[in-house]
Structure formats: structure tokens, C-alpha cells
Amino acid sequence: MRPDPRSCGRFGHCAISEATGCRASTEISRCDRLRRRLAPAAAAGHLRRADRGGARCDHRRGEHPIEWHCAGYADIQPVGAQEPAGAARPAARLRRLARIDNASVSGIRLVLASASPARKRVLIEAGIAPIIQVSQVDEEAMTAELEPIRPADLALELARAKALDVAAHFIGHDDTLVIGCDSVFDLDGIAYGKPLTSAVAIERIRGMSGRTGSLHTGHWAILGDQSAGRTTTTELTFAELSDTEIAGYVATGEPLNVAGSFTLDGRSAPFIRSITGDPSNVIGISMPTLRDLAGDLGLSWADLWTST
């Protein structure tokens, strides 16, 4: 059963990611919906119009979980900012206010259990504004505990652990889809995670130069009491790299905190000759795989869209 969209908006305790701006033009954007909700108050003189132009709205993190800045409504305050302490709120009004958040049109929220800006960017470009809640899983300790294990299996186990860790904060919230991801680079059956130090990164990149390896990304999805997981693999062939190129790249610091010491959407992109498989998987989250997982849990891809 799909969760009731009216039950959304109960996550004020979570860190809510920034969303992109929206221009009021289609009458279905977030700014348009907000303007319609505030129209009675504006007519009563409770809000002042800053100008007569179209409203351009963006959502920025501030002192409160959600803060609206609109050119068309200069005096809009964060939810509850103008109310006296202890003021009673009717339940219906609370439900209306709660809809001003990262919920999709269907009422489903996607929580990403990762601090990766690349994964967040891929989701936003696909029309999904995720809530970011980083897991506290110790990847190195868990990897040591699981060894020996195949690289592809390791990626899935780490993704599962991250999703479970974050989902524990959302027990009882059946309108929240928690996604955990982890990427592991596989060269000759050896799993390579984040190098963390320059010396390790240089050694690994030298070993990858001119060769083909596999990037495994584990994905684990949790919705209420349901869960599903998949691993997606993409093959990459690297160019022959000179010591000067390797040293220069490592000096940027980029490879130290990415699986396999490279990334498709950064400075190392020219070093990748070819890929076989899903490009978004190399960035850290496969969009086709995420769509499949949503389907496994009874959701359509459109249920996750938060942009209009």
C-alpha cells in the first residue's frame, strides 16, 4: 500500500539538503504552491510584497530546518518563527505546514545514507532532492571483519550496513525510502576502496595504468519493513599514465577519498579510455539500479521526483 501523502513532513529532526531554485511559471512549482497557500494572509495585510515581479524561490539551510527566501514575499519567516512560544497549532495546519519540505509529489522522501556530493548531485539532476543523513558505519573495520570476501559482495554488504544504520532513525515512518550505497574498485580480484593517503593512491594508480578493472557499487533500499539490494558493475579501461600525470593528479587530493582513486566526473575523467556499463554507477549511484529497487518496493520512479 502506498503511504498517504498527508502523512509526510515529520522529519524536522533530520538534516535537510539544499534544493535548487524554482521559478513560478507552471503553477505547479513549489513557489506557486507556497504563494497559493499564503494568498489569504497576504490579502489580510500580514505579508508585504517586496515587488510585483515573478517570485523566484530557493531553499537555504539556516537556523531552522527549512527557510524560504522568495523575492515575491520578503517577510516570510521560517515555519513557526512568528508564533509565540507554546502557541497551540491545529492538527490540520500542522499537516499543511509540514508539506514544505523535501517530500515528493507522492509524499515519499528519499534519504541518502552518504556524505558523497557526487551521489547527491546525480540524484538532484534526476529530479530527486535527497535528505542527507550520513551513516556511522566504520567501513575499514567492517571490511576487515568480512574478509575474505569478493569485491562485489563487499560493496553490497557495506551498502546494506549503511542503509540499516540510517533507517534506524526513521522507524515507523513508512513514507521514507532510505538508500545506502558503497563503491569498490576491483582489479585482479582485489578490492580497492578509498586510498586515504598520497602514497597509497600513487601506488594504486600506477597499477591501474593501461589496464581494465571493474567498479562495483552496492545499493540497498529500505522502505518501512521492506528492503531490497543490488550490485551494479561497470568496467573501465585506463590510459597509460606518466609519473608526472599521476603525481600531479594525486597532489590535487581528489583521489584520496574516492573508491579506486579515480572519478568519472572529476580531474581523472581524461584518464579513463572507455567504460562498459552504466556511467552513473561509476559516480557512485546507478540510476537504473535505483529505479529497479524502487520497483521492487512497490514504487514507481515518478514517485521519487521532487522537482516540477
**Tens digits of residue pLDDT in 39-68:** 444 444 443 333 333 333 343 333 333 333
SS3 state at 22: strand
Instruction: Determine the Cα–Cα distance for residues 178 and 163; give it in Å rounded to an integer.
Output: 6
Give the model's pLDDT for residue 164.
98
Instruction: Determine the Cα–Cα distance for residues 35 and 70; give it in Å rounded to an integer.
Output: 10
Residue 7, pLDDT above cutoff 70: no
Asked whether residue 21 falls in the same domain as residue 66, the answer is yes
pLDDT mean over 227-234: 98
Residue 75, pLDDT above cutoff 70: no
Could you say which of 79, 98, 117 is where a domain stops?
Answer: 98
Q: What are phi and psi of 46, to 5 degrees?
A: -80, -20
Beta bridge partners of 60: 67
pLDDT mean over 21-28: 42
SS3 state at 134: coil
Give the model's pLDDT for residue 106.
72
Q: Give the percent of the chain with pLDDT over 90.
A: 61
Asked whether residue 62 falls in the same domain as residue 145, the answer is no
What domain count does the chain have?
Answer: 2
Give the model's pLDDT for residue 307.
55
Q: How does residue 187 score in pLDDT terms, banded at 50, 70 and 90? A: very high
In a domain? residue 115? yes
pLDDT mean over 287-293: 98
**Residues contacting 104, CB < 8 A, separation 6+:** 110, 128, 303, 304, 305, 306
Asked if 201 and 195 count as a contact pair (C-beta separation under 8 A), the reply is yes
> Per-residue pLDDT tens for 93-122?
433 334 445 655 678 999 999 999 999 999
> Per-residue pLDDT tens for 239-255?
999 999 999 999 999 99
Give the model's pLDDT for residue 107.
87
Place of cell 529500505: 222
Q: For the residues of 131-156, what is the DSSP string, one character each?
A: EE------HHHHHHHH-S--HHHHHH
Could you say which of 45, 79, 98 is where a domain stops?
Answer: 98
In a domain? residue 103? no
Instruction: Determine the Cα–Cα distance for residues 126 and 259; give it in Å rounded to an integer.
Output: 23
SS3 state at 108: coil
Considering the chain, what is the average pLDDT of its residues? 77
Asked whether residue 63 falls in the same domain as residue 129, the answer is no
Q: For the residues of 65-84, what is the DSSP string, one character each?
A: S-EEEETTBTT--STTTTSP
Give the model's pLDDT for residue 105.
62
Could you say which of 98, 129, 144 is where a domain stops?
Answer: 98
Dihedral angle of Cα 242, 245, 250, 251, to the nearest 10 degrees: 130
Place of cell 589496464: 211
Q: How does residue 256 score in pLDDT terms, banded at 50, 70 and 90? A: very high
In a domain? residue 104? no
Give the model's pLDDT for residue 101.
53
Instruction: Determine the Cα–Cα distance for residues 64 and 116; give it in Å rounded to an integer.
Output: 23
Residue 174's CB is within 10 A of a number of other CB atoms, namely: 17
Asked if 183 and 155 count as a contact pair (C-beta separation under 8 A), the reply is yes
Asked if 159 and 220 count as a contact pair (C-beta separation under 8 A), the reply is yes
Cα-Cα end-to-end distance for the chain = 24
Between the ranges 32-41, 103-112, 277-286, where is the mean pLDDT highest? Answer: 277-286
Catalytic residues: 182
Kindly state the cell numbers that stand for 112.
Answer: 541518502
Domain that holds residue 60: 11-98
Residue 1, pLDDT above cutoff 90: no
SS3 state at 111: strand
Asked if 21 and 29 count as a contact pair (C-beta separation under 8 A), the reply is no
Give the model's pLDDT for residue 80.
41
- pTM recorded for the entire structure: 0.66
In a domain? residue 193? yes
Residue 168 or residue 259, greater confidence? 168
> Per-residue pLDDT tens for 147-182?
999 999 999 999 999 999 999 999 999 999 999 999
pLDDT mean over 283-293: 98
Asked if 95 and 80 count as a contact pair (C-beta separation under 8 A), the reply is no
Cis peptide before 148 (omega within 30 of 0): yes
